[in-house]
Amino acid sequence: MRHDHLITAKQLSREDVESVLDRAAEFDADPAAFGDRHPDAILGLCFYEPSTRTKMSFETAIKRLGGDAVDMGTVESSSVKKGESLADTARVVAGYADALVLRHPSQGAAKMVGEFVDVPLLNAGDGAGHHPTQTLLDLYTIRENAGLDDLTIGIMGDLKYGRTVHSLAHALTNFDASQHFVSPESLKLPRSVRYDLHEAGANVREHTELDDILPELDVLYVTRIQRERFPDENEYQEIAGEYGIDLETLEDAKDELTVMHPLPRVDEIAPEVDDTEYAAYFEQAHNGVPVRMALLDQLLEGDR
């Protein structure tokens, strides 16, 4: 892969994905063995929203490669609080670092910052837009558990605002995957994602009931129904339970079904699922480090 920035999963070809995942597998086998890969590299972390997994996995990844991270800190403790624009903050941090990671609540923020900085930029989530590095670790997890071809995947929950869903859907168009989207009517895929999937000729179906498709699935990717998106609490309560899973829900699933979730979960997956062979979501979170090591390795290598 040779991109200056990673803004959306649409940039990734099948070859790009496979290249990152293959390299990630090498790092995954012995993550402590690569401490001399990028000994002088500094990664700038600009997180305008709270994050646990994404931020810590990027920080761990750069340290595993021998580099270090500089962190803008919280919005409240930074110059953003004084009214500094995102464009200015990013340019300043880009002056300190060899690559930037940006998480921001506004859609399109990463694309805009990419126009202002001359070091590689990684979009770590822009509002309801995209989250391409999450997608790479999702694909790594899917490949490990179910393979990436002849795949039937169900993606359930908040499909409208779920950025991990949008990026994953785009990336899966590179593979022989049937995509089944399960959500309440009010949280269906946005028009722009449907447009891209249609343009890509993707094999896509939409459902409101998981039961309609569950027995066919190799992978079930669950996301959180975001309570805060509903103007009416009663409307949320009516549908919330229907889009969660427990052992009873999974009775009709294939034995080899892989259940994933980008985390954090609230009540979409009952804890009783955690200890079953279905559960891959903690493994998925763990995979963030080797996958981000692979991605950083490629971007920093290309930057030399």
Partner 1 sequence: MSDHQLRVSKIPRGTVIDHIRAGQALNVLAILGIDGASGETVSVGMNVPSDQMGHKDIVKVEDRELSQDEVDVLSLIAPEATINIIRDYEVVEKQYLERPDRVVGVLSCPNHNCITNADEPVDTEFEVLDDGVRCEYCETIVREDLAAHIAVE
Residues that bind partner 1 (CB under 8 A): 85-87, 104-109, 111-112, 115, 126-129, 190-192, 195
Identify which of 127, 114, 201 has the alpha carbon closest to the alpha carbon of residue 164.
127
Give Cβ neighbours of residue 199 (< 8 Å, ≥ 6 apart): none
Whole-number minimum distance, CB 11 to partner 1, in Å?
13
Q: CA–CA separation, 253 vs 251, rounded Å?
A: 6
- The answer to whether residue 81 is catalytic is no
Query: With respect to partner 1, which residue has the nearer C-beta, 116 or 236?
Result: 116
User: Catalytic one among 5, 8, 37, 54?
Assistant: 54
Please tell me whether residue 222 adopts helix, strand or coil conformation. Answer: strand
Whole-number minimum distance, CB 300 to partner 1, in Å?
26
User: Catalytic one among 53, 91, 111, 265?
Assistant: 53
- The answer to whether residue 54 is catalytic is yes
Identify which of 228, 229, 221, 209 has the alpha carbon closest to the alpha carbon of residue 165.
221
Query: With respect to partner 1, which residue has the nearer C-beta, 195 or 282?
Result: 195
Whole-number minimum distance, CB 267 to partner 1, in Å?
26
User: Catalytic one among 23, 55, 103, 180?
Assistant: 103
Whole-number minimum distance, CB 168 to partner 1, in Å?
16
Query: With respect to partner 1, which residue has the nearer C-beta, 39 or 105?
Result: 105
**How many beta carbons lie within 10 A of that of residue 116, not counting itself?**
15
Identify which of 116, 111, 145, 143 has the alpha carbon closest to the alpha carbon of residue 11.
111
Query: With respect to partner 1, which residue has the nearer C-beta, 14 or 198?
Result: 198
What phi-psi label fits residue 108: left (phi over 0), alpha (psi between -120 and 50 degrees) or beta?
Answer: left
Which residues are known catalytic residues? 53-54, 82, 103, 131
